Structure 1
Amino acid sequence: MSAGSTDSPDGRMPAADAPTAPGALPRGVVVLLGTAGAVVTAAGIRSFAEIVGPVFLALVLTIAVSPLRRLLLRRGVKGWLAGLIALVVVNAFLLGVAAMLAFSVAELAGLLPTYQDKFAELVADARGWLAGLGVGQEQLEAVLQKFDLGKFFDILQGWLSGLLGIFSVLAFIVAVLFFMGIDAVDFPGRLRQAAQVKPDVIAALTGFTRGTTRYLIVSTVFGVIVAAFDVAVLYLLDIPLPWLWGLLALITNYIPNVGFFIGVIPPALLALLDQGWGALLWVIVLYSVINFIIQSIIQPKVVGDTVGLSTTLTFLSLVFWAWLLGPLGAVLAIPLSLLVKALLLDAAPSTHWLAGLIAGGPLPEQAPPAARAEPPPDEVAAEQAEQAGHVG
């Protein structure tokens, strides 16, 4: 071997100098084609957002209730009965949230017209304060014309109605939940069979399911805690519609990064209209204290690195999915991003290295594909219980 040879000691050419496979496209062309495909896919999803959003919501709800089904199976409940109980629970939750949201939005629509005089008084006070600072009349008119109570609450009602619009196709969601609930009974066995052929793909989908389940459970528990404290604060301050704002706090807890701000602005402004600046400041301060202690200190430590997305990517995914699917996309941004990550990165060994670039923390050691595809003992026991339930 010559001194200038680039061959490795075993006589093989280094990977960096390995020849490109015949017929393979250059990497730049592959990137461009992938980007074009992503754009076309996004456009297609946006065109069918009214179907894609509810279907994915049904999938997420089915995943969220799966721990209950496995718990019932471990307690000896037959498979079909465990699936039926899980289906009843998830539908009761969905219908309860829809009913509460519809009732609260109707109450808000009836309450807002009573604050028109108070809003006009606040505008007059603001005009006098700005005039005292030397702001000209024309400038005052230009600024104050942009502040319209009706426009703001139209935006708020539009956002809430967007969420409520999801429940306008409630029959469709319930039907999808029913069929998904039936399939969920036998699905673990199907996954184990498929894992023998495509272990990496099944491992990625299993990781998506586990991550989504833990994220939903933790977010729901902390969302309920935050909502309970918020409702107590609003009752203490005598702010109207405390249960609506508590429900809003629970929903916005699923929205990363900006959910707190969406949840605090409406009750703070209603406090301003109802009782003045002091009530507004108290709502903002107490909401901020609750959010800082529970959502900024305790919740991240419990969630840990389950999501596996950096802060920047989490925020960008929120913007993207909200643009693609509307308000429901903002609520489901994290599960949607986890699904895309599982399909595009985790399912192929050649793209596992990209997970380290988008992760929000240090990554655990990767197990071999066969080990990752193997479900934990509790799921194996659950599947055996399912099979016993079917036999019974």
Structure 2
Amino acid sequence: MNADHEAGRRTSPRSRPFALTLLYGAAALTITLAGMRSVADIITPVFLALVITVTVHPVRRALERTRLPAWLVSVVMLVCAYLLILVLTLALTLSVAQLATLIPQYTSELTQRVTDLGGALQTLGVDQEQIDRMVNAIDPGQLVSLVGSLLSGTLGVLSDLLFLFTVLLFMAFDTNGLRRGLAVLADRFPDPVTALAHFTQGTRSYMGVSAVFGLIVAVIDGVVLYLLDVPGAFAWAVLAFVTNFIPNIGFVIGLIPPALIALLEDGPGLMLTVIALYSVINFVIQSIIQPRVVGDTVGLSPTLTFLSLVFWTWVLGPLAALLAVPLSLLMRALLVEADPGASWALPLISGKPAPAGEPMRPEPAPPD
């Protein structure tokens, strides 16, 4: 009888093998990701609206201390959110438009650079057929067309602004109701509410850190490009600010346009100078200092920050590159911090062991 009882316990659902549990989790994850990819056009702007609302929420808290009417506070918060998204959209559009304006002016120079490159490869012993194939592939007309398509795609973002603005409108006026609802739920479900509070704090800290470092990088890059007499220095500085919100590889994206223009303007020497200075300035600040500050601020390791960029861009598209860290913070809050049994994963996520004698779970935070 005892043997049968033990056998029943081993085959009960509560003692399911770990491998089977892992397979169930992988299957659920696959279905979830497929669903997210199918509705990425909805998820991305909605989450962007949430991040913007969280970012400008300190404005609401400051205005609430002045005893202004609640509706007026919501209107001011909404205006701040609208201004923020318009500034970012116009900054990106300005940079792409500047590139689209400059490239056609350098068509002859681009053709000459391609010819010079072919001659250099020939002296190195590269087969002439391969050189001809490469030279024919680098068509200045196609490059101009590519830049034009990029500009059209950037302007196409404007068509999504109406949906984004509508979502921001509802979020701005629903903030107080949501805060009251979370306060009521805090007594019954303290862990999920605390996790969501940590998500809002981490997201706001990340956006603030990225904005500060982005402004520093933009000013330094703009001054350097101006002193080097690279056309469009202001536009490339603005682009450097926007791409700073993309973890780890943002400086590479911001480097391509000014390096290309420098090559066409004054040859490989100026291009290499721009690349060298950008690498020293942007790589040190954006890829070494900033990830460490972000990791200390929001509790994500540099490796996880980079992987989140790749993962969320694959799942939700290019715009998710700007939202990779907030998306990872939300997943950490929902899947780890909200579950007391998953607190063991927090040191792995942050890349730092929990101090001896202290719990691994974060300290409770009030609903924000």
TM-score, normalised on structure 1? 0.82
Q: How does 1:1-392 map to 2 (within 5 A)?
A: 23-24=13-14, 25-149=16-140, 162=153, 164-296=155-287, 298-300=289-291, 302-363=293-354, 365-366=358-359, 372-374=364-366
Aligned length: 357
Paired AA for residue 110 in structure 2: F
Q: Secondary structure at the match of 2:297?
A: coil
Deviates more, 1:70-79 or 1:131-140: 70-79
RMSD: 2.6
Q: State the 1:51 CA deviation.
A: 1.1
Q: Summarize the Cα distance change of 1:158–1:227 in structure 2 as closer, same or farther, 3 Å threshold.
A: farther
Contact 1:64 1:216 in 2 (8 A): yes
Contact 2:246 2:321 in 1 (8 A): yes
5+ residue gaps, structure 2: 1-8
Q: Secondary structure at the match of 1:264?
A: helix
Contact 1:101 1:164 in 2 (8 A): no
Write the deviation string for residues 266-320 of structure 1: whole angstroms up to 9, x where unpaired.
2111110122122212211222232245335653564352232223322221111
TM-score, normalised on structure 2? 0.87
Paired AA for residue 34 in structure 1: G
Contact 2:236 2:258 in 1 (8 A): yes
Deviates more, 1:121-130 or 1:234-243: 234-243
Q: State the 1:96 CA deviation.
A: 2.6
Contact 1:345 1:351 in 2 (8 A): yes
Deviates more, 1:354-363 or 1:187-196: 354-363
Superposition misfits of 4+ residues, deviation over 6 angstroms: none
Structure of greater relative contact order (alpha carbons < 8 Å, 6+ residues apart): 1
Alpha-carbon distance in structure 2 between the residues aligned to 1:236 and 1:361: 42
Alpha-carbon distance in structure 2 between the residues aligned to 1:157 and 1:34: 44
5+ residue gaps, structure 1: 1-18, 380-392
Q: Summarize the Cα distance change of 1:327–1:137 in structure 2 as closer, same or farther, 3 Å threshold.
A: same
Alpha-carbon distance in structure 2 between the residues aligned to 1:120 and 1:20: 73
Write the deviation string for residues 61-98 of structure 1: whole angstroms up to 9, x where unpaired.
00110122212223444433322212111101212332
Q: State the 1:210 CA deviation.
A: 0.5
Q: State the 1:353 CA deviation.
A: 0.5
Q: State the 1:356 CA deviation.
A: 1.8
